[in-house]
Amino acid sequence: MNIEEFRTYIKNNFSLIDESISKEDIRFKTINKNNGTSYEGLLIQKENTNISPVINLNNYFRDTLTEMDMSNILKEIAFTLKEASHNKINLDYIADFNQVKEDLSFKVINANANKDLLKTLPHRIVNDFAIIYKIELPAVEHVGVASFNLTTNLMKQYHMTEQDLYTAATYNASKKSPAQLTSMENTLQSLFLGESEVTNLLALSFDEMKQQDRIDEQMYVLTNKNGVHGANTLFYPDTLDNVFKFLQKDFVVLPSSIHEVIIIPINKKINEEELTKMVKEINATEVASDEILANQAYSYDGTAKQICPLKEYEVTKTKGMQRREEIFKELKRAGLKPNEKLIHSMHSLDRELNKKATLKDVEKMGNESKATPKATIVIKESLRQLHIMEMDVGLEP
């Protein structure tokens, strides 16, 4: 049986399983996925409906299917469609950002491999990564979580900017599926031997962190609580900085897939060429085409608060020190005391805004009630300092 015969059989026989669905209701469509991959989709498009769940027929098709196989496949598809129908999507709900703002999320994909997809989506490019936004609908039993990419047109309808989407989506995702850092040893023991529960090193108290052994050659796995699209954690607020605080040094990021990344503390033995070669080999032999994230090794500089290609690490580190000096001088000019809290928050704000942040940016966000988490810290610390200065001025000699 070939794919054309497979489609014809479904179209001609589906009504035997579900009389409410006729031949005319059944549509087939090629659905584009990540990294230029696609699948054969089945949709049930009835009159007066403009949204339909899509069934991935690639999960069912093979060229050795028997009549009995086909009967079971039709029953399974019918069951899935029935379950999905219980979660009918209200278009008025989707059209109102206030209704869906808590369902806003994002995913990280490879920018170069998804150029066509990005043409119609609001997005942010960071190195090889592209951040796109999606609306996640409530999970349906036996079906899972339904989601759809947020388009540029829908963003305009919401009267939102890409920056607004980034702030809301990264915050939501970090709360719904928190970041999880585990040692590679602990991960493998849990995955293959079932010997122990994984210990999330980012959830440890300060005293517990101090008791952890840190070995330069130790590998760690960074993902999220669900283990799905765990590479998103690279852009959660403060996650990379918290990894830096735990390791107490800069680190390498190996993008092993869209679902997780490998973390290695930077040491003298780190070889950029070998690590990049390893990433490419793993992508070619171990990772599904639609789950490849990038083909090179990265580094995180805890001073610059920046992720960059590992080959640019030394240059980025120098720029990070220069940027700290720029922030120090701007804070001084504004009459503030450039303590570590302010410098750190302003530096992190660069990442949130995807540019060099200024105090004017902070002021504007505050006036528009669009302050990001780091901007809020800068505002509160600035007000605290200014309040103290006012008190000092008002003191009698």
At 174-233, the pLDDT tens digits run 999 999 999 998 888 877 766 567 889 998 877 777 667 666 668 999 999 989 999 999
C-alpha dist (Å) from residue 302 to 252, 346, 386: 11, 14, 29
Largest distance between two CA atoms of the chain: 97
Q: How far apart are CA 181 and CA 252, in angstroms?
A: 14
Question: pLDDT-derived band of residue 396, with 50, 70 and 90 as boundaries?
Answer: very low
Neighbours of 295 (CB within 10 A): 16
272/298 Cα distance (integer angstroms): 9
**What was the pLDDT predicted at 214?**
65
CA-CA distance, 155 to 27, in Å (whole number)?
28
pLDDT class of 93 with cuts at 50, 70, 90? confident
The pTM of the full predicted model, rounded to 2 decimals, is: 0.83
pLDDT in tens, 42-69: 988 777 665 677 888 998 988 778 888 8
SS3 content of the chain, % helix, strand, coil (to 5): 50, 15, 30
Indicate the range of 10-19, 85-94, 233-242, 268-277 predicted with least confidence.
Answer: 85-94
Query: Considering the chain, what percentage of its residues have pLDDT values greater than 70?
Result: 89
Give residue 393's pLDDT. 38
pLDDT at residue number 161? 93
Residue 244: count other Cβ atoms within 10 Å of its Cβ: 20
pLDDT at position 322 over 60: yes
- State how far the Cα of 111 lies from the Cα of 129, in Å rounded to an integer: 5
184 touches 221 (CB < 8 A): yes
8 Å CB contact between 55 and 77: yes
Q: Is the pLDDT of residue 388 over 90?
A: no
Instruction: Compute the average pLDDT of residues 133-154.
Output: 76
More confident residue, 224 or 140: 224
Question: Angle CA(141)–CA(142)–CA(147) in degrees, nearest 5?
Answer: 75
Strand positions, DSSP E, the chain: 26-32, 38-44, 54-56, 104-110, 123-126, 129-136, 147-149, 179-183, 220-224, 251-254, 261-265, 298-301, 306-309
Q: What pLDDT, on the 0 to 100 scale, is given for residue 394? A: 39
Report pLDDT for 391. 45
The contacts found for 156-159 with CB under 8 angstroms, 24 or more apart, are 157/95, 158/97, 159/97
Q: Which residues pair with 300 in a beta bridge?
A: 251, 307
**Residue 316 in this model has a pLDDT that exceeds 80:** yes
**Of 252, 263, 256, which is closest to residue 284 (Cα–Cα)?**
256
Q: Higher confidence at residue 391 or residue 100? A: 100
Give the SS3 label for residue 396.
coil
- Residue 248: CB atoms within 10 A of its CB come to 10
pLDDT of residue 137: 75
Q: What's residue 89's pLDDT?
A: 63
pLDDT at 134: 95
Q: How far apart are CA 234 and CA 124, in angstroms?
A: 13
Banded pLDDT at 372 (limits 50, 70, 90)? confident
Average pLDDT over residues 105-128: 95
- Does residue 171 have a pLDDT over 60? yes
Residue 370's region, left for phi above 0, alpha for psi from -120 to 50, else beta, is: alpha
| Vertex 294: Cα angle to 291 and 298 (nearest 5) | 135
**Can you give the pLDDT at residue 90?**
64
pLDDT in tens, 351-363: 888 899 999 998 8
Task: Residue 101: name the closest of 175, 185, 209 by CA.
Answer: 175
Rounded (5°) CA angle 98-88-230 = 65
Q: Are 275 and 285 in contact (CB under 8 A)?
A: no
> What per-residue confidence (pLDDT) applies to 142?
46
Q: Name the DSSP letter for residue 248.
A: T
Residue 380 has pLDDT above 90, yes or no: no
**What does the pLDDT read at residue 127?**
93
**To the nearest whole percent, how much of the chain has pLDDT over 90?**
49
Q: What confidence score (pLDDT) does residue 148 get?
A: 86
